[in-house]
Amino acid sequence: MNYALGVTGYPGAGKSVVTSIAEEIGFKKVSMGDQIRRRTREDWGDKLERAENGVSDETPSEVYGQYATVMRDMNGKGIVAEWCGKEISENDSPVVIDGMRSPEERDAFEGYVNMDVLFIHAPASLRFEWIKNRARDNEDAFTFESFMNRDERENNWGLNELIQDSDFVVHNCTSEYSFEQDITDLLTDIRGLHW
């Protein structure tokens, strides 16, 4: 059975940095967020387009979050992991999974691969600043209240429980260089164990 490293953490913590480094080292990336974005556009295209064009009071990221919540409520908290299952099972190389949010997702993934979970921790004040600076999906318009509501929504999905069950923790609260070096060292060690 293949190996996967699931990357989790609150919005803006640095998960995309981790997955980029993992890809450079040779992991195959599977993005849970890409599944959400694609399916939201297919199922809620009009609503998403209104958010993208500033016609509604919502940002695109809020629409994606609403869609993800509805899908989890309808199909169980492991549904996004199930959507990624085929992509994971077709890989021979180790996989890095970007954006895990619940223990149920871990359970679903463990049907396809042996896995560990890496929690990226960063303080809320830094994450809020980073999110506004990256300005993805109109996030530069985020208020601190909407930012905290997003954290709460992800806790409702099971993120805080997944964090408690993580196998590795890396803190992203020093310099960018130090964080990237810590991640590179950890991923290199993991690769050595599973290749």
* Contact between 102 and 76 (Cβ < 8 Å): no
What mean pLDDT is reported for the chain?
92
Q: 3-class SS at 29?
A: strand
Q: Which residues pair with 8 in a beta bridge?
A: 100, 119
* Contact between 114 and 2 (Cβ < 8 Å): yes
* Contact between 167 and 118 (Cβ < 8 Å): yes
Q: Kindly report, residue by residue over 153-181, the tens digit of the pLDDT.
A: 999 999 999 999 999 999 999 899 999 99
pTM of the predicted model, to two decimals? 0.90
Geometric angle at alpha carbon 14, from 195 and 171, rounded to 5°? 80
| 41, pLDDT greater than 70 | yes
Structural domains in the chain, sorted by start: 3-31+87-194 (3.40.50.300)
| CA–CA distances in Å: residue 169 to residues 22, 55, 85, 162, 184 | 16, 40, 25, 12, 13
Q: What is the pLDDT of residue 193?
A: 86
Which ranges constitute the DSSP H helices of the chain? Answer: 15-25, 32-43, 45-52, 60-75, 79-89, 103-109, 124-134, 144-157, 159-164, 176-194
Interatomic CA distance for residues 164 and 92, integer angstroms: 29
